[in-house]
Structure 1
């Protein structure tokens, strides 16, 4: 039976874990992580906060090698994040506009937000094609599926490149920015499919509903009717899964473009590898170059600066 074990480790232990699981690490875009690894039947997600989550039949045994489980208080906190939205009956078979975003937790690359409309007549076809939670798909599968989906259904994709993100970020915190982008993508898609109207609009929840509505009040073209908010929205309607796949594919394509332009592999996420690449970009073109490819307010920027200073003892790049 699968189980979940959570431990809290020191920075030294995290470094040892990072090295120990070097050959087991997998490329997954999980916000605020140092690494994600797969060893046997156990998945290990190590967060920058020092929290490490082990999932699988042998989770407890694997976790015990590194430390003790966190107090039960953490479990009570997680329960407060359970979905409270009640969806209409037979929701998965309705005509729904779904939206999702990718890239908000990655230091390099853009934030991509997609709204996708799936008419009830297309639900079965999309599922048959394999449209499901993007986390269950490989990157090549995501890119391939995205191109197919975009030929079959209406969608609106917004891409905020790092340079634009850095201009907006001082005025918009991360949540407000995502609210603005979701609202805009949904508004544009509703205009595009008019006079057709979805039976519901499902947003993959990233903030409490009240918080979303607070931020959206400051936006133009506010969409407020038929809105539903639920975490893991792709499990409730294929429209969110389609939006997630399109967003993820666009994010991957932008990372590939950045890699080619910089002449080095640009990683997703915000772990130690991002720090190393950021330091290399700083050495190549200073903060002006880094601002074109990374979200500067992340802690990675300061880490990269310190790393470069320690390595060459110069401030001229910073």
Structure 2
């Protein structure tokens, strides 16, 4: 009988698992994963969040080598946090991608899905972007953008580095979400959404604290919930659009530099950043990477860069 076990591990233990399973790792690497390996009939999928999923007849045994399985958590009832029937309303959904990746931009998208478009988008295959391959995401993104109104903001690394000392990561995301929603509301006027759902990345009080410092504040009809794509297809659509934009930007960076630029912030990013430093110093690296990440100092040591 196939079993599924999920554990949560530290970054150090995740790195150790990566090394241990190196020879058993598969070539495919879905989004948000560190590695996928096949071990004694068990598929091991390690996610950047620190969660590791074991699937197979001996999943429990293999998982026990590394930690204790997490107890299953029930999805909170939507009625507890959202108005009744929220998933059938005309809603703006908002999500972001790239904040945890050393290379590439931060992309934020606000997407409006009218009630009469919900079924069509679901039939198209619009769902949680983590369940889709990169190719599926890019293809779906093009289809979605032809069907619904949206606003996409792309914060390139160079601009990110310029404003990062003033804006911490959370404040930056609040500003981007707020601006994307504000612009989309202007596009839609006089049509008004019945709700605005933000895939939650910080407590609501914190979001509202930061948004008060923004010029164009959107404060009404806001709802916040983690895994927002499970509660309205608008968030799933926004997630796919901004994920596709992030992937396309990474492809452009790779083409400009002449070698593959990885997502995430692991050892591959350190090695790639070292190559960029050797090629054009910190000035060149600042055009492609978020310099305040710890990867920068690691890359300097690898490259022997002292400036």
**Given the two structures, how large is their TM-score scaled by the length of structure 2?**
0.89
Q: How far apart are the structure 2 equivalents of 1:110 and 1:45?
A: 24
Whether the aligned pair in 2 keeps the contact of 1:7 and 1:69 (CA below 8 Å) is no
Q: How far apart are the structure 1 equivalents of 2:122 and 2:201?
A: 24
Give, in angstroms, the shift of residue 269 of structure 1: 0.7
Whether the aligned pair in 1 keeps the contact of 2:7 and 2:67 (CA below 8 Å) is no
Q: How far apart are the structure 2 equivalents of 1:105 and 1:167?
A: 17
Q: How far apart are the structure 2 equivalents of 1:12 and 1:217?
A: 40
| CA deviation profile, 1:30-61 (whole Å, cap 9, x unmatched) | 5xxxx23243553432659xx56234354432
Q: How far apart are the structure 1 equivalents of 2:24 and 2:104?
A: 25
Q: Alpha carbons of 1:22 and 1:212: their partners in 2 closer, same or farther (altered >3 Å)?
A: same
Of 147-156 and 18-27, the range deviating more from structure 2: 18-27
Gaps of 5+ in 2: none
Give, in angstroms, the shift of residue 205 of structure 1: 0.4
1:42 aligns with 2:43: yes
Whether the aligned pair in 2 keeps the contact of 1:29 and 1:106 (CA below 8 Å) is no
Equivalences for 1:149-298 in 2 at 5 Å? 149-298=144-293
Q: How far apart are the structure 1 equivalents of 2:173 and 2:14?
A: 31
Whether the aligned pair in 1 keeps the contact of 2:129 and 2:240 (CA below 8 Å) is yes
| CA deviation profile, 1:116-144 (whole Å, cap 9, x unmatched) | 00000100011111111111111111111
SS at match of 2:81: coil
Q: How far apart are the structure 1 equivalents of 2:172 and 2:186?
A: 21
Match of 1:4 in 2: 6
Whether the aligned pair in 1 keeps the contact of 2:4 and 2:60 (CA below 8 Å) is no
Match of 2:31 among 28, 32, 37: 28
1:91 aligns with 2:99: no
Alpha-carbon RMSD: 2.5
Equivalences for 1:42-191 in 2 at 5 Å? 42-45=43-46, 53-56=52-55, 58-65=58-65, 67-69=66-68, 86-191=81-186
SS at match of 1:37: strand
Of 2-11 and 249-258, the range deviating more from structure 2: 2-11
Q: How far apart are the structure 2 equivalents of 1:7 and 1:161?
A: 31
Whether the aligned pair in 2 keeps the contact of 1:54 and 1:62 (CA below 8 Å) is no
Q: Alpha carbons of 1:135 and 1:12: their partners in 2 closer, same or farther (altered >3 Å)?
A: closer
Q: How far apart are the structure 2 equivalents of 1:249 and 1:272?
A: 23
Q: Alpha carbons of 1:23 and 1:117: their partners in 2 closer, same or farther (altered >3 Å)?
A: same
Q: How far apart are the structure 1 equivalents of 2:24 and 2:287?
A: 32
- Count of residue pairs the alignment pairs up: 299
